[in-house]
Amino acid sequence: MIVAPLNDCECLDAITARAREAVASPEAEQLARDLGSTAALRRHLRSLPQRDDTGEADDGPRIACGDTSQRVRLNAENPNCCERGLWFLAVAERIDPRPIRQLATIDTPRGRHTFPVEDGTPVRLDPAVPRNALAAGLYHIRNAQGDDRGSLLPGPAAVTWIAHLAAEPARQHPDGVARWTRGHTSMRAAARGEPLTNVADVAFVLHLAEPEADRFGPDGRQTFRRGMTHLRRASVATRDHRAPPTPARDHRAPPPAPVPAARDHRASATPVRPRPPSGRAHSFATFAQIATPLATAGLLSAGVAAPIAYALAPAIAPTASAAIGSFVGLARRRAR
């Protein structure tokens, strides 16, 4: 069912009305028959090249769209975002009219972008616009409208959300999908309270998800921190799980104490007890302990790696947490 647009109604109302009219067109009927599913329709529209609308009067047909006009070609070979969204609404309605579909417009670094929303989920039709950008834009629209779906996620759900954010950018890295799959599996297990494994792959997922969470503003950053806190607890559980068991107490009689040798009154040097490492050297030494998995994950920048290392440290080295905390403090003081 095609319903009113989510926002920008002054412009999108006219495009939505045009989509309703196009449902009965022979072109929509034929394409719906040829493709057979909305998934195939999405793939078809994503495969088409883009030709931007420059606003020229003879580039049409056009309809009034607020104080300007918008090109609205049907079944175009090189549609822009509005034409993709319009044509998706029309043809998808012929294929399956049960979902609720509407248009929305968001601001992106490349300019304003219009896309369809199906049952509350953004439909990505322009390959140049990331899925996370659409989801973040839709989140901001709902938040501005006071939608309850703008609430923060609890810890386990935040971990799952973080993993989903990283899925898209992971495809741009060598072996990224496999690394994301291993990290996602470990994070899901940690969300269920199990010990954390595959720490390098989890670090890879967190590294990719952090800038994606920024798209959602303060709520996204807070949800990311909440997920990191939950993973840190799983790291501590991993450390405790790996701790060696306390040896059983031997109730047999202890062996006789050795007879002390005659005391040598000659001067002897007092043995020097080795002092445990501490301070700056220990901070960097402990950070080096976990450098291997983080380097494997591609986290070579201390500014990015340190917070993630702090969250995952207990799963790697039992004494790493305090040292990484000191490392983070040193990095912040140096940055001032």
Instruction: Sketch the domain layout of the chain as residue ranges.
Output: 9-150, 155-241, 279-335
For residues 282-304, give the mean pLDDT. 46
pLDDT value of position 271 = 52
Of 4 and 291, the structure prediction assigns the larger pLDDT to 4
Look at 127-131, 180-184, 186-190, 309-313 and tell me which has the smallest mean pLDDT. Answer: 309-313
| Three state DSSP letters for the chain | CECCCCCCHHHHHHHHHHHHHHCCCHHHHHHHHHHCCHHHHHHHHHHCCCCCCCCCCCCCCEEEECCEEEECCCCCCCCCHHHHHHHHHHHHHHHCCCCCEEEEEEEECCEEEEEEEECCEECCCCCCCCHHHHHHHHHHHHHHCCCHHHCCCCHHHHHHHHHHHHHHHHCCCCCHHHHHHHHHHHHHHHHCCCCCCCHHHHHHHHHHHHHHHHCCHHHHHHHHHHHHHHHHHHHHHHHHHHCCCCCCCCCCCCCCCCCCCCCCCCCCCCCCCCCCCCHHHHHHHHHHHCHHHHHHCCCCCHHHHHHHHHHHHHHHCCCHHHHHHHHHHHHHHHHC
pLDDT more than 70, % of the chain: 68
Of 250 and 174, the structure prediction assigns the larger pLDDT to 174
**The pTM of the whole model exceeds 0.85:** no
User: Per residue in 24-40, pLDDT tens?
Assistant: 999 999 999 999 999 99
Look at 64-73, 119-128, 184-193, 325-334 and tell me which has the smallest mean pLDDT. Answer: 325-334
pLDDT value of position 154 = 73
User: Per residue in 197-227, pLDDT tens?
Assistant: 888 888 888 889 989 999 998 888 888 888 8
Please confirm whether the linkage preceding 61 is cis (ω < 30° from 0): yes
pLDDT value of position 57 = 83
Residue 125: how many CB atoms within 10 A of its CB?
Answer: 24
What's the mean pLDDT when you consider all of the chain? Answer: 76
CA dist., res. 54 & res. 243, Å (int): 66
For residues 50-77, give the mean pLDDT. 86
The token pair that represents 284 in the structure block: 């960097």
Residue 221: how many CB atoms within 10 A of its CB?
Answer: 13
Give yes or no for a contact between 37 and 118, defined as CB atoms under 8 angstroms apart: no
pLDDT value of position 45 = 95
User: Per residue in 245-270, pLDDT tens?
Assistant: 555 555 555 555 555 555 555 544 55
pLDDT value of position 311 = 58
pLDDT value of position 245 = 53
Residue 124 has pLDDT above 60, yes or no: yes
For residues 266-292, give the mean pLDDT. 47
Show contacts of 298-306: CB within 8 Å, 24+ apart.
298/173, 298/204, 298/207, 299/203, 299/204, 299/207, 302/327, 302/331, 303/331, 303/335, 304/207, 304/210, 305/203, 305/207, 306/331
pLDDT value of position 27 = 93
pLDDT value of position 151 = 56
